[in-house]
Amino acid sequence: MIRRVPKPWGEEIIFAHTRRYAGKLLRIRRGASLSLQYHRKKDETLYVHSGVVRVTLMPGARRRTRLMRRGQAIHFPPRTCHRLEGVTACTVFEVSTPELSDVVRLEDRYGRAPKGRAR
């Protein structure tokens, strides 16, 4: 069963969700970004299918950014603070463990969830 979920940054298409993993397609609009966030349990691997994505990582209090293009992948273990931003319109595949709602948003330009609250 495929489920489309509109998001303020674009859309999320969940194409697989089992007890062991989840598969999603993220369509991120140019200039839009996901929250600066981490997951308590969820382990994610992202693969850029098209476009250019700016990835922000926060190891400790230091922010680092990196541009990723088609064919590049990145892995986020649980508790890795990260954000994705569409430099161009982009499509990203996400394969993760099945926890879909353990996100903790630290910053969000769309006014979702106060700091530190899981949603």
Task: With cut-offs at 50, 70 and 90, classify the pLDDT of residue 1.
Answer: confident
pTM of the model as a whole: 0.90
Q: Is the pLDDT of residue 114 over 70?
A: no
Q: Is the pLDDT of residue 113 over 90?
A: no
For residue range 20-75, what is the model confidence (pLDDT) as tens digits?
999 999 999 999 999 999 999 999 999 999 999 999 998 767 889 999 999 999 99
Residue range 73-82: mean pLDDT, rounded: 96
Average pLDDT, the chain: 92
For residue 21 the two structure tokens come to: 């993993």
The CATH architecture of the domain made up of 28-94 is Sandwich (2.60)
| Angle at CA of residue 114, ends 112 and 119, nearest 5° | 65
